[in-house]
């Protein structure tokens, strides 16, 4: 099977701080990590490779230092890494990012399964996976918590595609879904426990022997006006931490008086709660 995993290098958001004046992320001294959900995607791909054979290609878009995400992926067991690195890719929204990634996947030729984390911790959009599937015209299953069954396409039976059966985590339950390969799945952390990089593989991944390619816009055949900031349909105007201030007030009186007063206030206030209070408390 030919598997592709999308990996993103992100700031470790447990330590993220925003500049209160500019609203920009303070990147100085910030540690970069592989997006946690992407590690689950990698683990899933490596597990499939170990069971059915094939290759795992890790694909990332980012600045030169994003190569660290690919090095880690190879350290964990991926066969190959591709870094989409071009100034033209900078400032991309999810539309332009997914276009760029999908063009790179197209360049890779036939792919059986694309696996991605369901969202990145720095953007939290959960749009990239579905959009890549859409650009490539592939079936997709999102929020996958379990890969129940996977049948690769049988080369001796042309015309009979492979199949994947997954369980998706929904808000109120689990959905069991089957789709034909090639397909794209986005995964959540319940799926597995990612392994750590093996030292030998990691050390080799830092040398010229590592199979890591760097592709620019021309390599994947996109116009620079279609990618990066120029190709983006949305633009971030400002990022800020919402300033929530509690406006506390203590109601005084007997229990009945306080509850009645509270109830009246809620009813009069312009909140969604007020519509639900139809009667007085007994």
Partner 1 sequence: MKKSDTPVKIRSNVEDMVRKTMKDFVDKEVIPIAREYDEQAKFPDHLFKQLGDMGLFGIRYPRDAGGSGGNTTLYCIAMQELARGLMSLGATVAMQCLMATNGLYLYGTPELHERYLYPALKGEKKGAFQLTEPDAGSDLKAVSTRATRTADGWVINGMKTWATSGPRADFHTVLCQTDPSKGLKGLGFFLVPSDTPGFSFSKPFDLLGTRSSSISEIYFSDCHIPAHHHLGQEGQGLSVLLKILAEIRIMTASLALGLHRAAMDDSVQYCKQRTAFGQPIGNYQLIQAKIANMAVNLEAGQLMVDKVTHLIDNGRSCLNEASMAKYFTVESACAAADEATRIFGGYAYSMEYSVQRYYRDNRFLLYGGGTHEVLQTTIGREILSK
Pick the piece of the chain touching partner 1 (CB under 8 A) from 66-74, 98-106, 162-170, 246-254. Answer: 66-74
CB of 224: closest distance to partner 1 in angstroms?
A: 6
CB of 214: closest distance to partner 1 in angstroms?
A: 4
Instruction: Answer yes or no whether residue 227 interacts with partner 1 by CB under 8 A.
Output: no
Instruction: Answer yes or no whether residue 16 interacts with partner 1 by CB under 8 A.
Output: no
DSSP letters for the chain = -EEEEE--EEE-GGG--B-TTT--B--TTPPEEE-HHHHHHHHHHHHHHHHH--EEEEEEESSGGGHHHHHHHHHHT-SEEEEE--GGGTT--HHHHHHHHHHHHHHT---SEEEEES--TTT----HHHHHHHHHT-EEEEEEEEEEEEE---TTSTT---EEEEEEEETTEEEEEEEESSEEEEE-GGG--PPPPPHHHHHHHTSTTS-EEEE-TTTTT--GGGSTTTT-S-------------------S-HHHHHHHHHHHHHHSSSHHHHH--S---
CB of 155: closest distance to partner 1 in angstroms?
A: 31
In this complex, which beta carbon is closest to partner 1, that of residue 90 or of residue 177?
90
CB of 200: closest distance to partner 1 in angstroms?
A: 4
Candidates 217, 234, 224, 215; CA nearest to 80 is 215
Instruction: Answer yes or no whether residue 180 interacts with partner 1 by CB under 8 A.
Output: no
Instruction: Answer yes or no whether residue 138 interacts with partner 1 by CB under 8 A.
Output: no
Locate 244 and state its tokens.
């929530």
Instruction: Answer yes or no whether residue 108 interacts with partner 1 by CB under 8 A.
Output: no
In this complex, which beta carbon is closest to partner 1, that of residue 162 or of residue 228?
228
Locate 155 and state its tokens.
């080369």
In this complex, which beta carbon is closest to partner 1, that of residue 134 or of residue 219?
219
Instruction: Answer yes or no whether residue 217 interacts with partner 1 by CB under 8 A.
Output: yes
> CA–CA separation, 177 vs 165, rounded Å?
6
Pick the piece of the chain touching partner 1 (CB under 8 A) from 19-27, 168-176, 189-197, 250-258. Answer: 189-197
Q: How many residues bind partner 1 (CB under 8 A)?
A: 35
User: Can you tell me which of 214, 230, 260, 274 binds partner 1, judged by CB under 8 A?
Assistant: 214
Instruction: Answer yes or no whether residue 210 interacts with partner 1 by CB under 8 A.
Output: yes
User: Can you tell me which of 172, 207, 254, 256 binds partner 1, judged by CB under 8 A?
Assistant: 207
In this complex, which beta carbon is closest to partner 1, that of residue 25 or of residue 206?
206
> CA–CA separation, 146 vs 47, rounded Å?
12
User: Can you tell me which of 152, 162, 215, 228 binds partner 1, judged by CB under 8 A?
Assistant: 215
Per CB under 8 A, contacts with partner 1 among 72-91 are 72, 75, 83, 85-86, 88
Instruction: Answer yes or no whether residue 203 interacts with partner 1 by CB under 8 A.
Output: yes
CB 59 within 8 A of CB 145: no
Please give the residue ranges that form the binding site for partner 1 (CB under 8 A).
Answer: 33, 64, 67-68, 71-72, 75, 83, 85-86, 88, 195-208, 210, 212-219, 224
């Amino acid at each position: 099977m030919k598997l592709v995993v999308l990996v993103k290098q992100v700031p470790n958001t447990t330590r993220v701080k925003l500049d209160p004046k500019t609203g920009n992320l303070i990147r100085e001294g910030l540690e970069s990590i592989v997006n946690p959900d992407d590690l689950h995607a990698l683990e899933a791909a490596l597990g499939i490779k170990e069971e059915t054979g094939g290759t795992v290609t890790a694909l990332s878009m980012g600045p030169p230092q994003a190569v660290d995400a690919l090095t880690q992926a190879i350290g964990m067991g991926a066969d190959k890494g591709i870094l989409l690195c071009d100034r033209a890719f900078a400032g991309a929204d999810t539309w332009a990012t997914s276009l760029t990634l999908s063009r790179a996947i197209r360049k890779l030729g036939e792919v059986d399964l694309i696996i991605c984390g369901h969202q990145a911790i720095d953007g939290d959009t959960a749009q990239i996976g579905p959009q890549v599937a859409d650009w490539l015209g592939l079936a997709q299953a999102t929020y996958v918590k379990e890969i129940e069954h996977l049948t690769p396409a049988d080369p001796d039976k042309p015309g009979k595609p492979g199949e994947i059966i997954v369980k998706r985590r929904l808000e109120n339950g689990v959905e069991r879904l089957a789709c034909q390969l090639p397909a794209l799945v986005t995964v959540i952390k319940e799926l597995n426990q990612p392994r750590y990089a093996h030292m030998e593989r990691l050390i080799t991944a830092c040398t010229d022997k590592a199979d890591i390619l760097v592709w620019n816009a021309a390599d994947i055949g996109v116009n620079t006006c279609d990618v990066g900031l120029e190709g983006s349909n949305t633009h971030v105007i400002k990022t800020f931490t919402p300033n929530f201030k509690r406006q506390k007030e203590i109601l005084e009186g007997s229990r009945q008086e306080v509850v009645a007063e509270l109830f009246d206030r809620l009813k009069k206030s312009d909140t969604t709660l007020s519509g639900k209070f139809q009667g007085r408390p007994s």
